[in-house]
């Protein structure tokens, strides 16, 4: 089961903006930097991605032209193939069960009633985060000593990923780069 398509998401952005304090706490929005929260349970792994949209696309606004929509759809398709992005040891026997993508405007312009001219102007100043929730079921999470993160390969605008990992026994934080893209799980 996958999340909404990007087109429907775009239509829902105004609502999302109102609910920006929702499930995800939005940390600093810094182009080039993405964040991952990894939780490893007994039989499941959930990964939250929070990234400026500019890390994933060549632009950071609601897709408008056909070319932009095409690029956004391709980005969404890539993220939906989460088992090619987050690589678990085979012995853990993990399978992707759910991917949900959403976008949040970080614009603090609160006036949603703006006329079109204003909206067009504001578009150049807006910042958008993409939030992804990736859920895996694993038969043996104890075998997860590493998680390979292939986001750099698919999205070269990402320069650094700040990852936090919570297991049933430990918590850790690690900074990933294109040269050091494997999370090592401390237990």
Tell whether residue 26 is a contact of Zn ion (CB under 5 A).
no
Q: At CA 180, angle to CA 38 and CA 60, rounded to 5?
A: 65
- Of 40 and 103, the one with the shorter C-beta distance to Zn ion is 103
Tell whether residue 52 is a contact of Zn ion (CB under 5 A).
yes
Going by their DSSP bridges, the two strands 33-40 and 44-52 should be labelled as antiparallel
Q: Which residues face 95 on adjacent strands? A: 137
Smallest gap from residue 52 Cβ to Zn ion (A): 4
DSSP state of 145: S
First to last CA, the chain: 31
Smallest gap from residue 29 Cβ to Zn ion (A): 5
Nearest residue to Zn ion by CB is 127
Point out which span in 10-18, 89-97, 119-127, 165-173 binds Zn ion (CB under 5 A): 119-127
- Of 121 and 184, the one with the shorter C-beta distance to Zn ion is 121
Residue 185: φ, ψ to 5°: -90, 115
Point out which span in 89-97, 107-115, 125-133, 140-148 binds Zn ion (CB under 5 A): 125-133
Rounded Cα–Cα distance for residues 76 and 122 (Å):
25
- Of 63 and 96, the one with the shorter C-beta distance to Zn ion is 63
Helix (H, G, I), strand (E, B) or coil at 102: strand
Cα distances (angstroms) measured from residue 18 to each of 13, 25, 54, 88, 103: 9, 14, 21, 36, 12
| Total residues in contact with Zn ion, by rule CB under 5 A | 3
Point out which span in 92-100, 110-118, 123-131, 151-159 binds Zn ion (CB under 5 A): 123-131
Tell whether residue 127 is a contact of Zn ion (CB under 5 A).
yes
Q: Which residues face 182 on adjacent strands? A: 148
Smallest gap from residue 145 Cβ to Zn ion (A): 35
Residues of this chain that interact with Zn ion (CB under 5 A) are 52, 60, 127
């Amino acid at each position: 089961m996958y999340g909404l398509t990007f087109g429907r998401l775009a239509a829902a952005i105004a609502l999302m903006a109102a609910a920006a304090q929702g499930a995800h706490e939005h940390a600093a929005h810094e182009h080039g930097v993405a964040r991952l929260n990894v939780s490893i349970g007994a039989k499941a792994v959930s990964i939250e991605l929070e990234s400026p949209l500019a890390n994933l696309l060549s632009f950071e606004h609601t897709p408008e032209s056909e070319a932009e929509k095409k690029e956004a759809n391709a980005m969404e398709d890539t993220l939906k193939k989460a088992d090619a992005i987050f690589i678990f040891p085979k012995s853990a026997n993990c399978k992707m069960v759910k991917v949900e993508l959403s976008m949040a405007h970080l614009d603090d312009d609160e006036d949603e009633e703006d006329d079109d001219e204003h909206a067009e102007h504001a578009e150049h100043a807006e910042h958008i985060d993409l939030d992804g929730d990736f859920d895996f079921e694993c038969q043996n999470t104890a075998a997860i000593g590493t998680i390979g993160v292939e986001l750099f390969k698919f999205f070269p605008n990402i320069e650094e990923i700040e990852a936090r990992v919570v297991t049933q026994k430990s918590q850790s934080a690690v900074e990933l780069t294109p040269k050091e893209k494997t999370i090592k799980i401390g237990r």
